């Protein structure tokens, strides 16, 4: 009887979450069990498909003679250049490498020879400086666009989530972890977190990728199937902030482990290439 009422309660919370959202304590209650997490995912998806069905029907409903004039209404509602701004941000977010060296070389090659040897060198030098400055500035802007958002979100999580935990990374045995430091920020209630790394070696995503694993406890051997926290890459040997992409609702996270895996990540890690670990105090 008790189990039945518990399931009813979770069902109620999942429906509430899929339609008007949950308070932190309610979300924690719902996501603390696998059944609750599955319910939440199932009803979220159901609500999305219902919404799509209505939008599709409404779209088809307007398939008439006034279609062109109605479309103009949408143009007014949607800001000009939205698509371009979305693309710019996506490009910045997904960019992994900066074109600094090639830009500098291109400038050097472009120096005019007709100005004589010294003039040519001066122009070439100026072009190199200009290109280097511009490339560095571009790199800064892209870096901000790529990492700034995650950094802002991480800080916001700390500020807004009462249960947000900040844990230090402990470097493990893999060579990429030499000189590694940083921390992980995680909220059980929001199932959201961010990894901050300094000194984590850049990887070539064509060969290997980093992958995060989230354990509910602290005895790793007792959990053969931790939650996949997503694969990620590090492009430069400097501070990076990586959002955690938990594939499932974790509930209470006890331990976070980063491994090195084949491109795309794996479903089950053999745990042979251990990079870093962060663990809650028991």
Partner 1 sequence: MTLRNTRSATFERVVVEPTTGRRSLRGSRGVCLHRTQRPRSMSAHEVPAPSRMAPNPAPPAPLLPRVAAGDPEAVREVLRRYTSLVWSLCSAGSRDPHEVEDLVQEVFVDVWRSAARYDDRIASEATFIATIARRRVIDRRRRVGRRIEQESLEEDFLPGAEDDALRLVDVADEAGLAAAALSELPPERRHVLELSVVRGLTHREIASSTGMPLGTVKSHIRRGLSEVSDRLRARRASFGVEYEEDAR
Q: Where does this chain bind partner 1 (CB under 8 A)?
A: 7, 11-12, 15-21, 35, 38-39, 42-67, 69-71, 73-74, 77-79, 82-83, 85-87, 89-91, 93-94, 96, 149, 205, 228, 230-231, 243, 245, 247, 264-265
- CA–CA–CA angle 240, 243, 245 (5° rounding): 140
User: Residue 253 Cβ, how far from partner 1 at the closest point, in Å?
Assistant: 17
Segments in 62-115 forming alpha helices (H): 67-77, 82-94, 100-109
Identity of the residue, 131 or 197, whose beta carbon is nearer to partner 1 in the bound complex:
197
Taking the complex as a whole, how short is the minimal distance between the CB of residue 267 and partner 1, in angstroms?
A: 12
Least distance to partner 1, CB of residue 69, Å: 5
Nearer to partner 1, 60 or 221 (CB): 60
Distance CA 277, CA 282 (A): 15
CB of residue 248 vs partner 1: minimum separation in angstroms?
Answer: 10
Q: How far is the CB of 162 from partner 1 (least distance, A)?
A: 14
Residue in this structure with the two tokens 């959201």, named with its chain if needed: 192
- Strand order across the beta sheet in which 165-168 lies: 165-168, 181-187, 192-198, 240-243
Query: Which is nearer to partner 1, 51 or 252 (by Cβ)?
Result: 51
How buried is 145 (Cβ within 10 angstroms: 0-12 exposed, 13-18 middle, 19+ buried)?
A: middle
Residue with Cβ nearer partner 1 (48 or 125): 48
> Between residues 96 and 110, which has the closer beta carbon with respect to partner 1?
96
What values do phi and psi take at 255, rounded to 5? -145, 140
Give the containing element (helix H, strand E) for 46.
Answer: helix 34-61
Report whether 201 contacts 225 (CB < 8 A). no
- Nearest approach, Cβ of residue 105 and partner 1 (Å): 23
Q: Which is nearer to partner 1, 188 or 228 (CB)?
A: 228
């Amino acid at each position: 009887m008790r189990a039945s009422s518990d399931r009813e309660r979770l069902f109620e919370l999942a429906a509430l979450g899929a339609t008007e959202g949950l308070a932190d304590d309610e979300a924690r209650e719902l996501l603390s069990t696998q059944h609750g997490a599955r319910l939440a995912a199932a009803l979220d998806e159901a609500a999305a498909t219902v919404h799509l069905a209505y939008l599709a029907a409404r779209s088809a409903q307007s398939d008439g003679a006034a279609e062109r004039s109605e479309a103009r209404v949408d143009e007014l509602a949607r800001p000009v250049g939205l698509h371009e701004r979305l693309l710019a941000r996506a490009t910045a977010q997904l960019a992994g490498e900066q074109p600094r060296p090639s830009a500098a070389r291109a400038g050097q090659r472009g120096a005019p020879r007709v100005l004589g040897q010294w003039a040519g060198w001066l122009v070439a030098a100026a072009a190199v400086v200009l290109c280097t400055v511009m490339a560095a500035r571009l790199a800064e802007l892209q870096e901000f666009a790529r990492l700034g958002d995650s950094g802002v979100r991480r800080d916001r999580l700390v500020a807004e989530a009462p249960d947000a935990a900040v844990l230090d990374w402990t470097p493990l045995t893999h060579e990429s972890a030499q000189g590694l430091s940083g921390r992980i920020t995680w909220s059980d209630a929001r199932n959201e977190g961010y990894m901050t790394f300094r000194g984590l070696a850049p990887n070539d995503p064509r060969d290997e990728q980093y992958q995060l694993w989230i354990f509910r406890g602290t005895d790793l051997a007792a959990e053969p199937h931790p939650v996949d926290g997503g694969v990620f890459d590090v492009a430069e040997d400097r501070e990076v902030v990586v959002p955690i992409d938990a594939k499932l609702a974790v509930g209470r996270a006890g331990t976070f482990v980063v491994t090195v895996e084949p491109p795309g990540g794996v479903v089950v890690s053999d745990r042979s290439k251990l990079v870093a670990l962060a663990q809650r105090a028991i």
